[in-house]
Chain A
Amino acid sequence: MLKITDLQKTFNAGTVNAKTALDGVNLELCDGDFVTVIGGNGAGKSTLLNAIAGVWKPDYGSIVIDGVDVTNMPEHKRARFLGRVFQDPMKGTSPDMEIAENLAIASKRGIKRRFVRGVKKADRENYRELLASLELGLEDRLSTKVGLLSGGQRQAVTLLMATMNRPKLLLLDEHTAALDPKTAAKVLELTDQIVNKYRLTTLMITHNMKDAIAHGNRLIMMHEGNILIDVSGEEKKNLTVAQLLNLFNQASGGGAVSDRMVLN
């Protein structure tokens, strides 16, 4: 489903601020894989997701999604393969537009947009059902401007928008990090539900080791622009946070675990 080969990216190349964010990453995801990604700050997790999404072009390497080489495809074009939820709840929705209008825009991702009414009556029924599945009471607020919703509600709507077209690959960039613990748990639960329902191939970045272990069927840990640990199946299921830290210390040569990871 996703095949990344020798992906490299250096920011501010040729200056004193040069920072190698991706140092030859190789990664292959099978159909239906739900992979959690952990790693310290600056490990290259978000850089990897942004590279896949096409926010900028990599210096070297290739990205193939569903058999299509997207390495040089602009961001808006490869969006047809992808569903994305950002860390910032404000980033995934259009605040000055109605919930229904936001969903309408998402429903046409990867499909030719036409000069016909964007939100039709039948669509509203469909959106109502989708929103009801969130159990946040948003199904009766189709005409509400998204900017009036809370961060958690907006993130849930973004999740819906990212998945309603069944993307080939779902990219979640710490999408619960900016939410309060209770809302974060709710959004994570919704994520599990939706991913399982459509059997979506998913890459989910998280700072929370427990979440990384509890969700998905595979876990990768990044460090200094590379994938250090890659566990899946039974081995991942039986993992504990202590074991994970231990694995990480061995693999990285010790001492590189960030404060934030330990605290989580």
Chain B
Amino acid sequence: MAFLYALPGAVAEGLIWGLMGMGVYISYKILDIADLTVDGSICTGACVCAVLLGLGVPVWISVLAALLAGALAGVVTGLLHTALGIPSILAGILTQLILYSVNLSILGGKSLVAVNPRASNLWVHMSDNPMSILSMLFMVTVVIIALWQFFYTEIGLTLKSTGDNPDMSRAQGVNVKLNKVVGLAIANALVALAGAMLAQYKGSANINDGRGAIVIGLAAIFIGLSVSLKIKPNFVVSLIGVLGGGITYYIVYNFVILLGLKTDYLKMLSAIIVAIFLAVPYLKGEYFTKHKSLHPRNAAEGGGSHA
């Protein structure tokens, strides 16, 4: 029963993290970059939104500002990587560290800034889950349609090829460096957008928001794609899958809490989920593929006799 009560909240929060997962999908799956900026940029989105709302700025401007701040964070990582030649994973870590200081200063040196849900006309808030779910569904629909339209344009196609085959892309006149910066900007803009929604939903922005966000994003991607790739391996279905992955993740998360797991262990649980999803395809290939010998005689001897 308690689980059913928690369900709407899990779905609402899952939609927010699914939105972030779509951002991670762009960097991780399309650009082929494990972008650790995410842990910082989701918090930046939350901080910018919360602080602006506190100043009485309208919600849509606060959310837009958060989105742009995230894009800027992506540009910083992109330039560290492409213009300065820093490996992408390190570039992300550096930006993440930069953002910790930036986020603290946005919050005015405090570790937490609360949003007054009554004063501001919030799009989502944990006190009204049905409204939150509707708002989020509307937002992710807009985002999915926008991404779908963009990634099938002449320019969008080159973004896909940049991650898929940079050699081919350069040979076809694609500015791979610029595309990586643009892609990381889009990815982190979405992540920060999710951060802005998270701050509204929880009614606060915390300097520690977003720690391990990349892991949750990856979990959403793996859970989602494990289903959606079986249905139809195309872009839109994948994005919807990631969204579903985010929701599934939060339902499981809430379920585990209700089972009585100490919340201290939740981050470890997230990491374990991701580790399992990363390990399963590898283990399948490594240990569980039956070696079919072309020679019946060898097969009869047990196949492993040559080892």
Query: In the complex, are the beta carbons of B164 and A97 less than 8 A apart?
Result: yes
**Is the CB–CB distance between A118 and B164 below 8 Å?**
no
Smallest beta-carbon distance B158→chain A, Å = 6
Known contacts A76-B176, A91-B167; is-contact A97 B160 (Cβ 8 Å): yes
Contact yes or no, B155 A114, CB < 8 A: yes
| A207 CB within 8 Å of chain B | no
Per-position 1/0 for B212-252, Cβ under 8 A of A? 00000000000000000000000000000000000000000
- B148-178, CB under 8 A of A: which get 1 and which 0? 0010111111101100110111111111100
Residue among A82, A95, A110 making CB contact with B165, cutoff 8 Å: A95
Interface string of A58-88 (1 = CB under 8 A from B): 0000000000000000011101101010100
What mask results when residues 125 to 166 of chain B are scored 1 for a CB within 8 Å of chain A, else 0? 000000000000000000000000010111111101100110
**Among B157, B160, B171, B176, which residue has the most Cβ atoms of chain A within 10 A?**
B171
Q: Which residue of A lies closest to B157 (CB)?
A: A118
- The answer to whether A92 and B171 touch across the interface, beta carbons within 8 angstroms, is yes
Q: Which residue of B lies closest to A55 (CB)?
A: B170
Contact B165 A91 (CB under 8 A): yes
The answer to whether A94 touches B161 (Cβ under 8 A) is yes
Cα distance A95–B170 in the bound complex, in angstroms: 15
A116 proximal to B (CB < 8 A): yes
Q: Which residues of B contact A105 (CB under 8 A)?
A: 157-158, 161, 169, 172, 174
The answer to the question of A43 belonging to the interface, with a C-beta cut-off of 8 Å to chain B, is no
- Min Cβ gap A62→B in Å is 21
Q: Given A93-B165, A115-B155, answer yes or no on A79-B170 (Cβ-Cβ < 8 Å).
A: yes
Task: Please tell me if A104 contacts chain B, counting CB pairs below 8 Å.
Answer: yes
A115-B164 in contact given A53-B171, A92-B171 (Cβ < 8 Å): no
Are B168 and A94 touching (Cβ within 8 A)? yes
A161-B173 Cα distance, complex, nearest whole Å: 12
CB distance from A153 to the nearest CB of B (A): 15
Report the count of interface residues on B (CB-CB < 8 A): 22
B173 touches A76 (CB 8 A): yes
- Contact across chains for A117 and B172 when beta carbons are under 8 A apart: no
Contact with A94, one of B152, B153, B154, B169 (Cβ below 8 angstroms): B169
Complex CA–CA separation, A108 to B156 (angstroms): 13
B172 touches A79 (CB 8 A): yes
Residue of B nearest to A96 (CB): B164
B60, chain A: closest CB distance, angstroms? 24
Contacts known (A91-B168, A97-B160, A97-B164); A118 close to B174, Cβ less than 8 A: no
Interface contact A93-B154, CB-CB below 8 Å:
no
**Out of B150, B157, B165, B167, which one reaches A104, CB within 8 Å?**
B157
Q: Which residues of A contact B172 (CB under 8 A)?
A: 79, 105-106, 108-109, 161
For the residues of B in contact with A, the DSSP-based class is: helix
Residues A196-233 near B (CB distance < 8 A): none
Which residues of B have CB within 8 Å of A106?
Answer: 172
Chain A residues positioned under 8 Å from B174 (CB to CB): 76, 79, 105
Q: How far is the CB of A173 from chain B (nearest CB, A)?
A: 11
Of A77, A80, A93, which one neighbours B168 at CB under 8 angstroms?
A: A93
Smallest distance from the beta carbon of B253 to chain A beta carbons, Å?
31
Residue among A75, A94, A161 having the largest count of chain B Cβ atoms under 10 Å: A94
Does A113 interact with chain B (Cβ within 8 Å)? yes
Q: How far is it, in angstroms, between the C-alpha of A96 and the C-alpha of B160 when the chains are bound?
A: 9
CB of A119 closer than 8 Å to a CB of B? yes
Residue of B nearest to A114 (CB): B154
Q: Which residues of B contact A33 (CB under 8 A)?
A: none
Q: Of A79, A97, A113, which is within 8 A of B171 by CB? A: A79
Q: Does A101 contact B (CB under 8 A)?
A: yes
- Interface 0/1 of A128-147, CB less than 8 Å to B: 00000000000000000000
A84 to B157: give the CA distance in the assembly, Å: 19
Given known pairs A76-B173, A91-B167, A109-B173, the reply for A97 and B161 (CB within 8 Å) is yes
Q: Residues 24-52 of chain A: 1 if any B CB is under 8 Å from the residue's CB, otherwise 0?
A: 00000000000000000000000000000
Which residue of B is nearest A91, CB measured? B167
Least CB distance, B161 to chain A, in whole angstroms: 4
Q: Are B158 and A115 in contact (CB under 8 A)?
A: no
Kindly list chain A residues whose C-beta atoms are within 8 Å of the C-beta of B175: 76
Distance (whole angstroms) from the CB of B85 to the closest CB of chain A = 14
Neighbouring B residues of A119 by C-beta, 8 Å: 152, 157
Given contacts A97-B164, A118-B152, A119-B152, contact A77 B157 (CB under 8 A): no
Contacts of B168 in A (CB 8 A): 91-94, 102
**Distance to closest chain B CB from A243 (angstroms):** 36
The B18-71 residues at the A interface (CB cut-off 8 A) are none
CB-nearest residue of chain A to B153 = A115
Min CB gap B211→A, angstroms: 32
What 3 A-B pairs come out closest when comparing CB atoms? Answer: A79-B173, A113-B154, A118-B157
Selected A-B contacts with CB under 8 Å, 13 pairs: A76-B170, A82-B171, A84-B171, A104-B157, A105-B157, A105-B158, A105-B169, A108-B173, A113-B154, A115-B150, A115-B153, A117-B153, A118-B157
